[in-house]
Amino acid sequence: MNNTTTGAASITAPTRTEYMNSILINLRVEPNGMKVGYIPLELCTIPAFQRNDTKNIAHIAEAWDDTKCGYITVNSHEDCFSVIDGSHRVRAARLCGKTHILAKVYQALTLEEEAEIFVHQ
């Protein structure tokens, strides 16, 4: 068997950052400049300032209806989406086997700015 190369370019998987960038590029931009669209739940993280109350999550998952979920609010970082508003819906969506969720996406907010938006929602 000959071990020489065929000259074909090697295929590499995208990095997590490249994956995030492709998601952001494909979001719809609203007239007010806000980006909206479906984002992968696997890339959603829930920051410490969010409530950790999980008692209603099973009930939300049980009654899950995509048409009633509404937008969660997230901030995109280099490799994840930090959930600003909607942590219960994210946890419930994961529980009922969803892979994506509808989101309003901010970019490049500081942790303090995320907390400020959370407080005012």
Residue 102: other Cβ atoms inside 10 A: 16
* Amino acid symbol at 110: T
Q: Using CA atoms, how far apart are residues 102 and 97, in angstroms rounded to an integer? A: 15
pLDDT digits (tens, 9 = 90+) for 1-45: 455 555 566 767 688 889 999 999 999 999 999 999 999 999 999
Nearest to 14 by CA among 26, 25, 22: 22
pLDDT digits (tens, 9 = 90+) for 40-88: 999 999 987 776 777 789 889 999 998 888 999 999 998 899 999 999 9
Q: What is the largest distance, in Å, between two alpha-carbon atoms of the chain?
A: 67
The total number of residues written for the chain in this structure:
121
Q: What is the pTM of this model?
A: 0.82
